[in-house]
Amino acid sequence: MDVLEAIGRIRRGEALPGDLESILSATDGDAEAAFSEARRARDAEFGRRAFLYGFVYFSTHCRNDCAFCYFRRSSGLPRYRKSADEVLSLSASLKDAGVNLVDLTMGEDPVMCADGHREAIGLVRRVKEEVGTAVMASPGAMSEQSFADLAEAGADWFACYQETYDRGLFSRLRLGQSFDHRMDQRAWARKAGMLAEDGIMVGIGESVEGRAESLRMMGGQGCEQIRAMTFIPQEGTPMAGSAPPGFGAELLAIAAMRIMFPDRLIPASLDVEGIAGLRARLDAGANVVTSIVPPRMDLAGVAQHELDIENGNRSVRHVAEMLDEMGMRAATDAEYGAALSRLRSRRGRL
């Protein structure tokens, strides 16, 4: 199948069976064509600007046992939980450094989840009130009643990734967790007035057809931000022996998302390949740089819990330099605010 023709059909909303799969399995010149179309779609929609997200993984305690995760309950790791003061000062320093948003992320820490997620929601409220930046909350799965409280505390975004839309695969990854309850999360978040992010993992045991189906399903839910991240095998987990991934499939997934859903925010995560992978992800059509983590703060990443943190490569300064080299630049807070207003006004029509 001709990839350029497939791209054209997808862009016109006339996709044929197999069109998405042909992008996801493109090689060489065909892959380059997909990346170039994706960049064109991104630049037309957003200009040559990237939004920058700071990442504060404030508690690595977790009651869940996801097969892929370094921080799963049964890995006997030392863990940390930052105090409210630490979270506030980390968020403030990220804002000062120039991020557009702070992503407050936690494992499903029983202390933070207790009493309708009272502690976690309290942190969001304090960061909104005392730091005044845009905030994404990534607390894992919550009960429906907590969403109104989280929205009222000021969270702009709620992130919770389905990982895959294949129920069988989901049950082998998120052991003992409900597929439907996780699906409900983003619907409840949006009903409460927040923007929502969904995501899938790439190279986690899915076929190209399975990945295509997950991308179609994920996009069809209309979440304002959507992502694909390559699975990184983690020592001490049941999936430690998996083959180390290539990143080509993730890049094609990013390009495909941009071509199918041009007006969404799509991350280039530093948590997969570190700074070395930034350019390729932006070149594939991403327009948000996530997982910016300041050095010397004893903070962890998720998929790459150490890579590029202490050497400062995940800092705003370093990212801004790379954007500059690519003829791109970091968006201002006013530009980010305008993009969020646009997403909110299109709610239900993405």
232 binds ligand SAM (CB under 6 A): yes
x/- track of binding to ligand MD0 for residues 117-156 (CB under 6 A): ---------------------x------------------
Residue 301 interaction partner, one of ligand SF4, ligand SAM, ligand MD0, none, beta carbon < 5-8 Å per kind: ligand MD0
In the complex, the smallest distance separating the C-beta of residue 310 from ligand SAM, rounded to whole angstroms, is 20
- Which segments of the chain does DSSP mark as H helices, in order? 3-11, 19-24, 28-46, 84-97, 110-130, 145-152, 167-173, 179-191, 208-220, 248-260, 270-273, 278-283, 316-325, 333-345
175 or 280: whose CB is closer to ligand SF4? 175
53 or 231: whose CB is closer to ligand SAM? 231
By rule CB under 6 A, what count of residues binds ligand SAM?
18
The DSSP letter of residue 16 is P
Stretch that binds ligand MD0, among 170-178, 247-255, 264-272, 327-335 (CB under 6 A): 264-272
20 or 247: whose CB is closer to ligand MD0? 247
147 binds ligand SAM (CB under 6 A): no
CA distances from residue 221 to 131, 136, 322 in whole angstroms, order as listed: 32, 19, 33
Q: Which of 53, 147, 231, 336 binds ligand SAM (CB under 6 A)?
A: 231
Q: Which of residues 1-40 bind ligand SAM (CB under 6 A)?
A: none
In the complex, the smallest distance separating the C-beta of residue 42 from ligand SAM, rounded to whole angstroms, is 22
225 binds ligand MD0 (CB under 6 A): no
Contacts of 105 (CB under 8 A, 6+ apart): 55, 56, 57, 58, 138, 139, 159, 302
Beta-strand pair 329-330/288-292: unpaired
Euclidean distance between CA atoms 105 and 108, whole angstroms: 9
Residue 72 interaction partner, one of ligand SAM, ligand MD0, ligand SF4, none, beta carbon < 5-8 Å per kind: ligand SF4
Residue 232 interaction partner, one of ligand MD0, ligand SF4, ligand SAM, none, beta carbon < 5-8 Å per kind: ligand SAM
234 binds ligand SAM (CB under 6 A): yes
Report which of 182, 233, 178 is spatially closest to residue 204, judged by C-alpha positions.
Answer: 233
Residue type, 261: F
In the complex, the smallest distance separating the C-beta of residue 199 from ligand SF4, rounded to whole angstroms, is 11
Residue 44 contacts residue 262 (beta carbons within 8 Å): yes
138 binds ligand SAM (CB under 6 A): yes
Rg (CA), the chain: 19
Residue 234 interaction partner, one of ligand SAM, ligand SF4, ligand MD0, none, beta carbon < 5-8 Å per kind: ligand SAM
Q: Which residues of 290-315 are buried (b: 16+ CB within 10 A; e: fewer)?
A: bbbbbeeeebbbbbbbebbbeeebbb
In the complex, the smallest distance separating the C-beta of residue 127 from ligand SAM, rounded to whole angstroms, is 17
Burial-class residue 57 by CB neighbours within 10 Å (0-12, 13-18, 19+). buried
158 binds ligand SAM (CB under 6 A): no
- Cα torsion angle, 23, 27, 30, 32, sign: positive
Name the residues that contact ligand SAM, by CB under 6 A: 68-69, 105, 107-108, 138, 140, 160-161, 163, 199, 201, 229, 231-232, 234, 302-303
Name the residues that contact ligand MD0, by CB under 6 A: 55, 103, 105, 138, 159, 267, 269, 271, 290-291, 301-302
